[in-house]
């Protein structure tokens, strides 16, 4: 007698259904960052767009913070700025059979009051959903609704980057160099993967903090900065081409 065959976990079918549903509408970047002027999609946009699709697919998203780090920094006004980094796991649970898949992401945020952890949770959830459900979009790289600022800025560009600790700027610069200098063992394919890694890091770390962006730039040579910009441009061009192909396919 043949042994009974265990049915496939239905959580993956539920995830696939949400991907298909959200893929037909996407989440456009209709909001505008007031400090830097780029378009973005906020956490409320993600909640509003996904809520109905998750319910229809019988898919629950359950968060769990596994690690929290808080660093206090002095603001330009003499106050305290809280920088929070969270490691968060999300259990994607199928309501029909209880099967689940766990996704681990990190979220970072800064705030001068008591909202840094809340902001970091929002960032973690937003990026988890963007990547798990492959949510299509248009516009500039995704970011939070407010660029974190240690204190009110002067209009002078020369003030940017001065509040970032040198060790932090060097750490980020080294992480960027590890991407830039990674050997291209497989030619163009590896170079393309490198460009995607650079864009992901750029969106998560640099685009949300203009001070850090400027401070890190001072740690890199002009040639390395140019290589980084070229990698970002290549990845964005690929994303634009993918969207064009996807949109063309929807017309048929």
Phi and psi at residue 107, in whole multiples of 5°? -135, 140
User: Which of 151, 183, 218 is the last residue in one of the domains?
Assistant: 151
Burial of 146 (0-12, 13-18, 19+ CB in 10 A): middle
164 and 138 inside one domain: no
How many structural domains comprise the chain?
Answer: 2
Of the residues 100, 127, 151, which one is the last residue of a structural domain? 151
Higher pLDDT, 154 or 73: 73
Q: Give the HSE-up count for residue 100: Cα atoms under 13 Å, Cβ half-sphere.
A: 13
Do 99 and 196 belong to one domain?
no
Give the integer Cα–Cα distance in Å for 161 and 211: 4
Q: Which residue has the higher pLDDT, 168 or 184?
A: 168
* Section 215-239 average pLDDT: 83
| Structure tokens that stand for 155 in this block | 């209009």
Q: Which residues pair with 87 in a beta bridge?
A: 67, 106
Average pLDDT of the residues in 103-122: 89
Quick one: 162 and 139 in the same domain? no
pLDDT at residue number 210 = 75
pLDDT band at 138 (very low <50, low <70, confident <90, very high): very low
The set of residues, in sequence order, having a beta carbon less than 8 Å from that of 205 and lying 6+ positions away, is 108, 172, 175, 212
What CA–CA distance (Å, rounded) separates 100 from 92? 5
Beta carbons of 179 and 197 less than 8 angstroms apart: yes
Share of the chain above pLDDT 90, in %: 26
The residue out of 118, 151, 184 marking a domain boundary is 151
* Inter-helix orientation angle 210-217/166-180, to 10°: 70
Shared domain for 143 and 171, answered yes or no, is no
- 26 and 77 together in one domain: yes
Q: What is the pLDDT of residue 196?
A: 85
Q: Label residue 57 by pLDDT band (50, 70, 90).
A: very high
Q: For the residues 243-247, what does the mean pLDDT come to?
A: 60
Indicate whether 130 and 27 sit together in one domain: yes
Q: 32 pLDDT band (50/70/90 cuts)?
A: low
Assess whether 62 and 161 both reside in one domain: no
Helices (H) and strands (E) in the chain, counts: 7, 5
CA 135/CA 149 separation, integer angstroms: 28
16 shares its domain with 133? yes
Q: What's residue 156's pLDDT? A: 46
- If asked whether residues 218 and 127 sit together in one domain, one would say no
Nearest-angstrom CA–CA distance, 167 and 204 = 19
Q: What is the band of 187 on the pLDDT scale with cuts at 50, 70, 90?
A: low
Q: Are residues 15 and 79 in the same domain?
A: yes
CATH number of the domain that 66 lies in? 3.30.390
> Do residues 117 and 227 share a domain?
no
Domain identity same for 1 and 112: yes
Task: Report whether 116 contacts 70 (CB < 8 A).
Answer: yes
Q: Confirm whether pTM is higher than 0.75.
A: no
| pLDDT more than 70, % of the chain | 73
Could you tell me the residue range of the domain that residue 139 belongs to? 1-151
Write down the pLDDT at residue 248: 56
């Amino acid at each position: 007698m043949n042994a009974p065959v265990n049915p496939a976990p239905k959580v993956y079918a539920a995830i696939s259904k949400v991907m298909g549903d959200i893929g037909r509408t996407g989440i456009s970047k209709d909001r505008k960052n007031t400090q830097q002027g780029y378009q973005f999609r906020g956490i409320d946009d993600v909640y509003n767009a996904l809520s109905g699709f998750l319910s229809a697919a019988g898919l629950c998203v359950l968060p769990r913070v596994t690690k929290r780090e808080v660093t206090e920094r002095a603001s330009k006004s003499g106050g305290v700025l809280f920088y929070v980094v969270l490691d968060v796991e999300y259990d994607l649970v199928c309501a029909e059979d209880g099967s689940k898949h766990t996704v681990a992401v990190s979220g970072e945020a800064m705030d001068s009051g008591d909202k840094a952890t809340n902001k970091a949770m929002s960032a973690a959830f937003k990026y988890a959903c963007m990547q798990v459900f492959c949510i299509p979009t248009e516009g500039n790289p995704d970011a939070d609704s407010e660029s974190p600022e240690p204190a009110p800025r002067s209009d002078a560009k020369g003030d940017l980057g001065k509040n970032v600790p040198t060790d932090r700027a060097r750490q980020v610069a080294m992480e960027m160099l590890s991407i830039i200098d990674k050997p291209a063992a497989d030619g163009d394919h590896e170079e393309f993967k490198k460009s995607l890694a650079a864009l992901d890091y750029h969106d998560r770390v640099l685009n949300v903090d203009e001070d850090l962006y400027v401070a890190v730039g001072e740690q890199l040579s002009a040639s390395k900065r140019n290589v980084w910009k070229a990698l970002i441009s290549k990845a964005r061009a690929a994303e634009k081409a993918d969207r064009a192909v996807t949109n063309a396919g929807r017309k048929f």
